[in-house]
Amino acid sequence: PPAPSILRRSRARRAGKRVRFAQVTVYYFARRQGFTCVPSAGGSSLGMAPRHHRARRYSLSQFAHLRQVSHRQHLRQHLRREKLRARRRELTQNGTVPSAEAAGLTLADVSDDDLDVGQVEVGDYFYLQPLPTKRRRALLRASGVRRIDAEERQELRALRLSREQCGCLCRLTCEPRTCACSQAGIQCQ
């Protein structure tokens, strides 16, 4: 009888070898001022401590449930902030006339009954969203950062400005004497 095909043997071997995950390990890090990323709007950046302070293991189903609960909480907070903004806008006649009542409103004034959480699919909503400068500062302060380095603000602004001016002004052919790319030692863009 002919020898079994090498292709069949490798397929049979591969069919039994699959990677299966049974658990998820989550590492928790303290929040720090970033110095490693450039937020799209002013202020300081968020980062994390170089070492984790806690680790937890979850089964896949536990982790999926925890993520769903966490995402639902984030969605609820987002909708609460949006509802608060809308109420303040109504009380200030669309932002034209300041109102003491509007200034006194807080997130606590927005109840869960006012939110349409059921109308939004949590999976469709949740993605990383940029945080405003005030929220980043509040997060840093809440995590124990006492002194926020103000110099980072100017450095980040300079980086954002420099990224707006990318490449050189050459058209069709490169002029090495006036080309910013060539003078910087990189290929003409």
Provide the residue ranges of all domains of the chain, joining segments of one domain with +: 23-162
Cβ atoms of residues 189 and 181 within 8 Å: yes
Q: What Cα–Cα distance (Å) separates residue 79 from each residue in 82, 113, 172?
A: 5, 11, 51
Rg over alpha carbons for the chain, rounded to the nearest Å, is 27
pLDDT digits (tens, 9 = 90+) for 87-141: 777 777 666 666 777 777 777 777 777 776 666 666 656 566 778 888 888 889 9
Q: Residue 48 is encoded by which pair of tokens? A: 């994390």
The answer on pLDDT for 144 being more than 70 is yes
pLDDT digits (tens, 9 = 90+) for 145-176: 888 888 888 888 888 888 777 778 788 888 88
Determine the pLDDT at residue 161.
84
pLDDT band at residue 79 under the 50/70/90 scheme: confident
Coil, helix or strand at residue 123: helix
d(CA 168, CA 184): 11
pTM: 0.58
Q: What is the DSSP code (8-state) at residue 166?
A: -
